Amino acid sequence: MDGTVQAPFAGVASRAARLPAELRATLLTPALLIDLDAVRRNVARVLALLGGAPERWRPHLKTTKCPAVWAVLVEQGVRHFKVATTRELEVLLTWLEDRGVAGDVLVAQGLGPPAARRCAQLARAHPRQQVSVMVEDLEQLPWVEEPLGLFVDLDPGMGRTGRALAERARTLELLRAAGLRLRGLHCYEGHLHGPFPGRAAALEACFGELLALLADCAAGDIAVGEVVSSGTPALHHVARRAPLARAPGAPRHRLSAGTVVLHDLRSEQENPELGLEPAALVLARVVSAPRAGRCTVDAGSKALAAEAGEPIAAVLGRPELVAATCSEEHLPLDAPPGAPAPGLGELLELVPRHVCPTVNLHERALLLEERGLRWVEIAARAHDWGCAP
Ligand SMILES: Cc1ncc(COP(=O)(O)O)c(C=O)c1O
């Protein structure tokens, strides 16, 4: 593990310093803190990369899971969204409907029959909202009830879901079978993480294949309305490249980065060119000083996602502290030789390595913004349970 990896946020101002002293003294930890002003700046930065065009973005809401954060996207004109779970879908549709906003939601997750049925039930209950799901095989078409739209899921080499991008003949068969319900193609290249310019070359190779498929569609009179691609690692390159296709009737190309809204340590290390700020932090307290130069805080893998490698967090304002391996409720932090470790009871601000599953671990977040402070529910966290008859 390399201690220098914590340096990226060395210049970022403390968020907790903006909390009232009494709250800092009494707050139960671990607690999720979301800086809504930083969210606004991140969203503005992404929209600037997209040439100021919110219709080019279909952010994945699995990162944020919280209507109070989604409101920033909607205020900035974003109307297209991706979700992964039926819980996210239900919370989003209800919230959009309550606000009188007509949205367009793609459930970007391989679905079994019960989840597909649940998506259709939710779509029928929210007729102002457009809801689509993904299929990769003819066998799945009968599972998808009205009024759901269809995206065909393509695998550009990630090996997770979708029909291999190169299998054009079978894909065309599926696209034809989808008929009038076909909305578009989904092609998520989330496996392309390497350094630039190699990452850009790999993305271009993927788009080359997509263009070949789109040409076949045009030749076969198959109307593809939209192509959805690209998470955060692809955003900087793809947002600035030429549109996928320029011909009249060419599909709309939307990018689906989601981590960018809150940002995290891993994304800062991989994508510093995006110029984003950490907007979600886990506040934790020093609960032990097991030896000189080490302190342990009360946020382990049940408060900070631990599946994306180490260190699981960086300490804002204390870039010299290096996180050791966590346990469920504890994270030891080491100061460099000769430097003092934080004292017992001290409140520290941890930037998660992987923010999406970190947010999912918390029932509520403390929402901080210029005009005040409030607790909000992470309403779309966890999974639905039961049956979809
Ligand atoms: C299908 C899909 N689309 C979009 C995204 C968003 O990507 P990112 O988290 O890199 O912004 C993800 C992330 O896992 C994803 O699985």
pLDDT (tens digit per residue) in 273-314: 999 999 999 999 999 999 999 999 999 999 999 999 999 999
Ligand 1 shell residues, CB under 6 Å: 60, 63, 82, 108, 188, 190, 231-233, 256-260
Q: Interior CA angle at 311 toward 308 and 317, to 5°?
A: 125
Helix, strand, or coil (residue 291):
strand
| Helix/strand/coil for 296 | strand
Identify which of 259, 267, 269 to mutate to test ligand 1's pocket (most ligand atoms within 8 A of the CB).
259
Segment among 8-17, 64-73, 188-197, 329-338 with least mean pLDDT = 8-17
Residue of 62, 106, 199, 227 best suited for mutating to test ligand 1, as the one with most atoms within 8 Å of CB? 62
Asked if 227 contacts 217 with a C-beta cutoff of 8 angstroms, the reply is no
Q: Which pLDDT belongs to residue 179? A: 96
pTM: 0.96
**Mapped to the 3 state alphabet, what secondary structure does 348-379 carry?**
EEEEECCHHHHHHCCCEEEEEECCEEEEEECC
Convert the pLDDT of each residue in 313-362 to its tens digit.
999 999 999 999 999 999 999 999 999 999 999 999 999 999 999 999 99
Q: Counting Cβ atoms within 10 Å, is residue 214 exposed (0-12), middle (13-18) or buried (19+)? A: buried
């204390």: which residue's tokens? Answer: 318
User: Residues with Cβ < 8 Å from 371, sequence gap 6 or more?
Assistant: none
**245 alpha carbon – ligand 1 mean position (Å):** 23
- Residues 295 and 307: their CA atoms lie apart, in Å, by 22
List of residues 6+ apart from 191 with CB closer than 8 A:
156, 157, 158, 159
